[in-house]
Amino acid sequence: MEIQIIAFGIAKDIINGKKVTLSLTDEHTVGEARRKLSSEFPDFSKLASLKFAVNANYVEDNHLLTADDEVVLIPPVSGG
């Protein structure tokens, strides 16, 4: 399954763009997306944290993804 992931903040700099497409072949979870992303872009491991949001909600690594989900990378937030 192919999923498109949207990036904000420093995540945009790391993937060098606004979106990245990942191919999920195993359990189709956020955890799998995280592993694929980290191996493709090692700089993610340097961040203080990296959360995922699906359809505008924070999710854990065991969350199952479907092809039409809106998946967003949430690097450390710094509003205010």
Partner 1 sequence: MKDIFITEDQLDAKACTEAVTYPGAGGLVVFIGTVRNLTKGRSVKHLEFEAYEPMALKEMAKIANEATNKWGLHKMVIHHRLGLVPIEEEAVVIACSSAHRKEAFEACEYAIDTLKETVPIWKKEVFEDGEVWVSAHP
Residues that bind partner 1 (CB under 8 A): 6, 8-10, 13, 46-48, 53, 56-58, 72, 74-80
Q: Are 33 and 59 in contact (CB under 8 A)?
A: no
Neighbouring residues of 67: CB distance < 8 A, sequence distance ≥ 6:
1, 2, 3
- Tell me whether residue 23 or residue 57 sits nearer to partner 1 (CB atom): 57
Q: Are 54 and 30 in contact (CB under 8 A)?
A: yes
Smallest separation, CB 58 to partner 1 (Å): 8
- Tell me whether residue 10 or residue 24 sits nearer to partner 1 (CB atom): 10
Smallest separation, CB 72 to partner 1 (Å): 6
Strand partners, 3: 22
- Tell me whether residue 23 or residue 78 sits nearer to partner 1 (CB atom): 78
